[in-house]
Amino acid sequence: MPVADYHKYCRMLERAREGRFAYPAINVTSLTTANAVLKGLAESRSDGIIQVSTGGAAFASGSLVKDMALGAVSIAEHVHRVAERYPVYVALHTDHCQADKLDQYVLPLVEETEKRRASGRPNLFSSHMFDGSALPLKDNLDISVKLLERFQKNELILEIEAGVVGGEEDGVKAEASAKLYTTPEDTLEVARRLNAIKGACYLLAATFGNVHGVYKPGAVKLKPTILRDCQEAVVKHYGEEARFFLVFHGGSGSELADIHEAIDYGVVKMNVDTDTQYAFTRAIAHHMLKNYDGVLRVDGEVGNKKNYDPRSYLTSAEASMAERVKQAVRDLRGTGTTMFKT
Ligand SMILES: [Zn+2]
């Protein structure tokens, strides 16, 4: 199916919240990893979200060019083309973009969408995240409001973050003193500012102790009830239509019980990167160790072209990552939930 348009995407989010499941949002950095996500989603009969981080996008543009907007365009165009062949809907999203990177990343991509819309073509991306979590909430929301006004005109969905996700992603590390738990007061302020923009749609990454990366059991203390408290506060204050679409960052390595509880409180998107990175690399490591004298020219031998052709191990990596995507879909109770009907 084509990439989900705005109405399909909004419907996807509503269905997930009503049906108490969530979409995996998987980070990709290449054609192969994007294809792995599509394969995993298709085999799960689940819709989902493909996302690109600033670093992933810079990587995708090539190490000599390192242009994050260009790399993101390239991946998105690939997904638009190949997604037509898969019987599920996929949305295209850009991950964390801090305020100082908006000019290099999100804004050129929004401009690209505006150009496309002006010539009657579909949006390039379906949604973008602005991560103002390092700023005071007022500054974060001042920027978010401006973005959302522009997004609303272009049928784009904005993801924002209130509170800080711990750990490190893309070389951006949360401060040790960071505010890892969002408060109901924060989220009321989010609703007050953003719901004033009529007809706009946004996603909220409220933090409840989640961290990027994978840690040994016990190191991460999640408090999903924070999400419940935030939803209850906003619904009490602004009515049922103000209920948030929540995003769970740092989903890799989380306990299933915490994931399910978070979904019950309105999480509709869970970001997965570390676990799918590992699945991809695990298959390559296996190939290299198993075919040591095939992939290398050892002791004057010539190796085995079948073993060192990158397609051999990248095909295994694609399959392994797709399996991990399928597990993410199962964990998020999404198997078989696609809106696509054959
Ligand atoms: Zn994140």
Query: pLDDT confidence of 74, banded at 50, 70, 90?
Result: very high
Instruction: Tell me the average pLDDT of the chain.
Output: 94
pLDDT > 90: percent of the chain: 86
Whether residue 338 has pLDDT greater than 70:
yes
Q: From the CA of 251, how far away is ligand 1's center (Å)?
A: 9
Angle, CA of 105, 321 and 258, to the nearest 5°: 80
Q: From the CA of 95, how far away is ligand 1's center (Å)?
A: 7
pLDDT > 70: percent of the chain: 97
For the annotated catalytic residues, the residue numbers are: 95
**Average pLDDT of the segment spanning 244-268:** 94
Query: For 278, how many CA atoms within 13 A lie in the half-sphere containing its CB?
Result: 8
At residue 322, what is the residue type? A
Q: From the CA of 11, how far away is ligand 1's center (Å)?
A: 23
Strand order in the sheet with 166-169: 172-173, 166-169, 211-212
Whether residue 47 has pLDDT greater than 70:
yes
**Average pLDDT of the segment spanning 29-54:** 98
Q: From the CA of 47, how far away is ligand 1's center (Å)?
A: 20
**Average pLDDT of the segment spanning 75-83:** 98
At residue 75, what is the residue type? I
User: Can you give the pLDDT at residue 186?
Assistant: 94
Phi/psi for 336 (5° steps) reads: 80, 10
CA dihedral 188, 103, 252, 187 (to 10 degrees): 0
Q: From the CA of 334, how far away is ligand 1's center (Å)?
A: 21
User: Can you give the pLDDT at residue 170?
Assistant: 74
Query: pLDDT confidence of 175, banded at 50, 70, 90?
Result: low
* CA 70 to centroid of chain Cα atoms: 18
**Average pLDDT of the segment spanning 27-33:** 98
User: Can you give the pLDDT at residue 176?
Assistant: 57
Contact 169, 199 (CB under 8 A): no
Q: From the CA of 283, how far away is ligand 1's center (Å)?
A: 25
